[in-house]
């Protein structure tokens, strides 16, 4: 900041620094001087609707709103003078004319901004005796409840829709006392981040519909945690009543999720209490299932795995684990399998192309912070339904686009993004590979680069169109440019070629390459060593085992599945189920018991969900975040790391003497101390894939994992998916 931009103001007799163009309320907030407000929010535009922030400014003829008054050098401000207090009290009295006196039944009670400020600035008795107005409630969908009589017209919800979400559903109609906020034409608010208007509402007009009337704020305890359903790792607070999670709200973290939370992260916890939660260990003997204790179940697992290793060889044991399991679970899972002599370990359960996996980054990710993502001047997003894959990352890209960045897409379909798109290469009639080849050829021609031998074959038949040249020109001109590979690209049967072409394009244009990893913890999984070709820390393994596609194509005699429902979470699920039926011994460590599992599993072990365990995730920005469980485990469920620890002891594998998740975290950190998450995405020329099938690459936003699929409220939305054999959450929850 230059000296010309620096100002000094005086607030309540104290000299404060400020910057030119700053609003008064921003300067006072930075100094820790509180001014009451309703309509102002640091992430939204200035509306100056409520007038609650009126303050006295020297030489001003009347009190001024602090949110809409720019600072001036030498200005003197009084936030608590008799004149300022009188204006604030008058505003509060005005706001309460029509507000219903229903605090005892309002979900906002106890954490309501209006309630708090009324205690400080309200009158004990209203001077108004007219009838209060009544406003008809609006149906905004299954996630947000409305009590619009309580609305004070701050318009935070309207501005959020227009400025953050990019939707125009909410707006104001009428004037004066007849002003109402609604959708005009009755419809639900369909957006992957719609729940944030619940947090923004300063009164009880907009509330959490699934949580409605289930608990009071002061009855619950608050626990910090990390979201477990995408690679962003949004920070959150869980509100818990008697050990049961009741709601999730955002935990502000400017570096990751700012003050926002996706609906998937907010409401998915409902799935924890689904009726098909596995309540106790189960074992199948002579074709019959029965409940058993942990000692019997774990002993049976240990004996079964050791028997497979002894009778058929350890190479006949394979393990698949969810990319959303904690790093600690991945670490112990890999150590257990390798301790038994198996190297058939993988977490990349939706990937089908493993050519050139040796060139995979040590920990896949963006290669930049999430804040850097919004600072890019040009982005080429390849194979991504961005809003559904990572809503918070999509929000960052939207901010970049609104600020003037050129954002281009190469996709096998036309998806809606709600921000200005500079160019969209819809590859419905061709392949992503063909479009990328055209871009690379255009870049090479523009920069006079000669392709190496690996690229000549791919580029020979590439067609260069004007839109390719336009994209290349923007990438070259931008000081900060990125080629970003999405989840559709990662699941593509020609992924290795896509990655190779993306790397070549980035090198020719001066851009960098990043990717959105699968699940919540692909980076942590890779570092922890749940890979067939690398051990913990990213070191190359002496022997390369079977990758996920090979395991799925021909399951071995013994199988360990952790945190996944193969029929819904894996590529080639149909083929996998057929082969699992022939597996001699299959262990499934799972929170839920499905009818399909009972057809192929030998033992079912109930594991805690992300809400019931401790551990850490490595997000797409390479930031490791530790968390602890916040909910009482359902039934006999146990944290995954504990289950694996005991199994390691029973199987006589060294290195399983941990007594806490923190000890596992420290052990993992010690091994990975010298490993820096690499973001190199060089790729390798894979054989041409005949008859590329680009269908089935997109996983619906509310079907990404077992917990989300069971979240009743999410399944009632526009994007809800009907999943077989999944019941609503238990009434007890």
List pLDDT tens digits, range 144-163.
999 999 999 999 999 999 99
How high is the pLDDT of residue 455? Answer: 84
243 within 8 A of 255, measured Cβ to Cβ: no
Q: Which of 164, 213, 210 is nearest to 715 (CA)?
A: 210
pLDDT category at 359 given cuts 50, 70, 90 is confident
Can you state the angle between helices 661-671 and 327-339, rounded to 10 degrees?
70
List pLDDT tens digits, range 703-712.
999 999 999 9
694 within 8 A of 677, measured Cβ to Cβ: no
pLDDT category at 721 given cuts 50, 70, 90 is low
The answer to pTM > 0.85 is yes
What percent of the chain is modeled with pLDDT above 70? 94
pLDDT at 730 over 50: no
Integer Cα distance of 527 and 678 in angstroms: 10
Question: Does 513 or 675 have the greater pLDDT score?
Answer: 513
Least confident of 404-413, 659-668, 685-694: 685-694
How high is the pLDDT of residue 573? Answer: 85
Arithmetic mean of pLDDT over the chain: 91
**H-type helices in 262-379, by residue range?**
263-267, 294-312, 327-339, 370-373
pLDDT at 673 over 90: no
Sheet containing 235-241, strands listed edge to edge, beginning at the edge strand earlier in sequence: 221-226, 235-241, 244-250
How high is the pLDDT of residue 261? Answer: 98
Could you tell me the end-to-end alpha-carbon distance of the chain, in angstroms, rounded to an integer?
A: 52
Task: Decide: helix, strand or coil at residue 244.
Answer: strand
List pLDDT tens digits, range 125-135.
888 888 888 99
Q: Which of 514, 468, 521 is nearest to 489 (CA)?
A: 514
How high is the pLDDT of residue 694? Answer: 53
Least confident of 273-277, 326-330, 604-608, 726-730: 726-730
List pLDDT tens digits, range 237-281.
999 999 999 999 999 999 999 999 999 999 999 999 999 999 999
- Give the number of residues written for the chain: 733
List pLDDT tens digits, range 650-671.
999 998 999 999 999 999 999 8
pLDDT at 723 over 60: no
Integer Cα distance of 259 and 239 in angstroms: 17
464 within 8 A of 442, measured Cβ to Cβ: yes
pLDDT category at 182 given cuts 50, 70, 90 is confident
Integer Cα distance of 202 and 204 in angstroms: 7
Q: Which of 405, 419, 411 is nearest to 373 (CA)?
A: 405
pLDDT category at 691 given cuts 50, 70, 90 is very low
How high is the pLDDT of residue 733? Answer: 35
List pLDDT tens digits, range 417-428.
999 999 998 776
How high is the pLDDT of residue 427? Answer: 72
Neighbouring residues of 723: CB distance < 8 A, sequence distance ≥ 6: 568, 703, 709, 710, 715
Written in H, E and C, the secondary structure of 92-161 is HHHHCCCCCCCHHHCCCCCCCHHHHHHHHHCCCCCCCCCCCCCCCCCCCCCCEEECHHHCCCCCHHHHHH
How high is the pLDDT of residue 113? Answer: 94
How high is the pLDDT of residue 725? Answer: 42
pLDDT category at 183 given cuts 50, 70, 90 is confident
List pLDDT tens digits, range 192-243.
999 999 999 999 999 999 999 999 999 999 999 999 999 999 999 999 999 9
CA 716 to chain centre: 20
How high is the pLDDT of residue 368? Answer: 94
375-412 burial code (b ≥16 CB/10 A, e <16): ebbbbbbbbbbbbbbbbbbbbbbbbbbeeebbbbbbbb
How high is the pLDDT of residue 310? Answer: 95
**Contacts of range 75-81, beta carbons closer than 8 Å, 24 or more positions apart:** 75/9, 75/10, 76/9, 76/10, 77/9, 77/10, 77/11, 77/12, 77/24, 77/28, 78/11, 78/12, 79/11, 79/12, 79/28, 79/33, 79/35, 79/55, 80/12, 81/56
pLDDT category at 674 given cuts 50, 70, 90 is low
pLDDT at 57 over 80: yes
How high is the pLDDT of residue 685? Answer: 54
**DSSP 8-state code for residue 282:** E
Integer Cα distance of 607 and 605 in angstroms: 6
How high is the pLDDT of residue 697? Answer: 83
Written in H, E and C, the secondary structure of 191-223 is CCCCCHHHHHCCCCCEEECCCCCCCCHHHCEEE
């Amino acid at each position: 900041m230059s000296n010309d931009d620096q100002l000094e103001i005086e607030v309540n007799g104290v000299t404060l620094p400020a910057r030119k163009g700053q609003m008064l309320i921003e300067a006072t907030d930075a100094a820790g001087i509180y001014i009451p407000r309703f309509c102002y929010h640091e992430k939204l535009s200035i509306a100056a609707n409520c007038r609650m922030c009126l303050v006295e400014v020297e030489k001003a003829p009347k009190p001024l709103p602090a949110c809409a008054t720019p600072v001036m050098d030498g200005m003197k401000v009084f936030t608590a003078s008799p004149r300022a207090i009188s204006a604030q009290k008058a505003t509060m009295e005005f706001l309460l004319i029509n507000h219903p006196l229903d605090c005892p039944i309002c979900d906002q009670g106890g954490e309501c901004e209006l309630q708090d400020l009324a205690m400080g600035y309200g009158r004990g008795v209203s001077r108004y005796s007219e009838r209060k107005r009544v406003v008809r409630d609006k149906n905004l969908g299954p996630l947000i409840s409305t009590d619009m009589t309580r609305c004070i017209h701050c318009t935070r919800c309207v501005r959020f829709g227009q400025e953050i979400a990019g939707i125009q559903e909410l707006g104001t109609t009428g004037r004066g006392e007849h002003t109402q906020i609604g959708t005009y034409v009755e419809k639900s608010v369909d957006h992957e981040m719609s729940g944030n208007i619940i947090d923004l509402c300063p009164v009880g007009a907009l509330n959490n519909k699934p949580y409605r009337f289930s608990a009071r704020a002061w009855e619950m305890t608050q626990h910090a945690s990390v979201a477990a359903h995408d690679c962003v790792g949004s920070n959150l607070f869980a509100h818990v009543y008697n050990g049961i999670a009741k709601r999730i709200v955002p935990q502000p973290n400017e570096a990751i999720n700012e003050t926002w939370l996706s609906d998937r992260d907010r409401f998915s916890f409902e799935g924890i209490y689904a009726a098909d939660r596995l309540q106790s260990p189960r074992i199948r003997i002579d074709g019959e299932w029965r409940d058993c204790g942990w000692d019997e179940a774990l002993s049976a697992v240990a004996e079964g795995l050791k028997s497979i290793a002894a009778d058929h060889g350890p190479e006949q044991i394979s393990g698949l684990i969810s990319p959303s399991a904690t790093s600690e679970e991945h670490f112990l899972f890999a150590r257990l399998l390798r301790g038994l002599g198996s190297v058939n370990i993988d977490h990349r359960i939706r990937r089908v192309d493993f050519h050139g996996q040796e060139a995979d980054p040590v920990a896949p990710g963006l290669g930049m912070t999430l804040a850097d993502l919004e600072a890019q001047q040009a982005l080429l997003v390849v194979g991504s339904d961005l809003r559904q894959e990572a809503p918070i990352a999509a929000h960052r890209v939207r901010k970049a686009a609104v600020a003037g960045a050129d954002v281009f897409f190469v996709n096998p379909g036309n998806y809606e993004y709600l921000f200005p798109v500079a160019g969209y290469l819809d590859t419905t009639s061709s392949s992503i590979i063909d479009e990328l080849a055209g871009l690379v050829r255009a870049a090479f021609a523009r920069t006079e680069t000669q392709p190496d031998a690996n690229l000549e074959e791919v580029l020979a038949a590439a067609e260069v169109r004007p839109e390719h040249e336009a994209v290349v020109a923007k990438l070259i001109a931008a000081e900060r440019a990125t080629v970003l590979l999405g989840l559709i690209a990662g699941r593509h049967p020609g992924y290795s070629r896509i990655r190779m072409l993306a790397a070549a394009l980035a090198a020719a244009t001066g851009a960098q390459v990043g990717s959105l990893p699968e699940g919540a913890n692909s980076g942590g999984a890779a570092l922890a060593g749940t890979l067939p070709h690398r051990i913990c820390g990213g070191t190359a393994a002496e022997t390369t085992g079977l990758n996920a596609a090979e395991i799925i194509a021909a399951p071995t005699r013994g199988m360990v599945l952790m945190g996944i429902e193969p029929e819904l979470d894996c590529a080639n699920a149909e083929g996998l189920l057929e082969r699992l039926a022939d597996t001699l011994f299959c262990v499934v460590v799972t929170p839920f018991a499905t009818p399909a599992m009972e057809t192929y599993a030998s033992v079912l072990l109930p594991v805690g969900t992300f809400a019931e365990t401790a551990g850490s995730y490595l997000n797409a920005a390479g930031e490791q975040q530790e968390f602890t469980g916040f909910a009482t485990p359902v039934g006999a469920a146990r944290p995954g790391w504990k289950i694996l620890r005991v199994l390691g002891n029973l199987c006589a594998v060294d290195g399983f003497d941990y007594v806490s998740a923190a000890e596992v975290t420290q052990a993992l950190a010690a091994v990975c101390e010298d490993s820096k998450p690499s973001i190199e995405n060089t790729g390798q020329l894979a054989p041409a894939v005949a008859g590329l099938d680009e269908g089935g690459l997109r996983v619906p936003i509310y079907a990404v994992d077992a917990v989300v699929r069971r979240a009743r409220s999410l399944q009632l939305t526009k994007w809800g998916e009907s999943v077989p054999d999944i019941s609503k959450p238990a009434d007890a929850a």
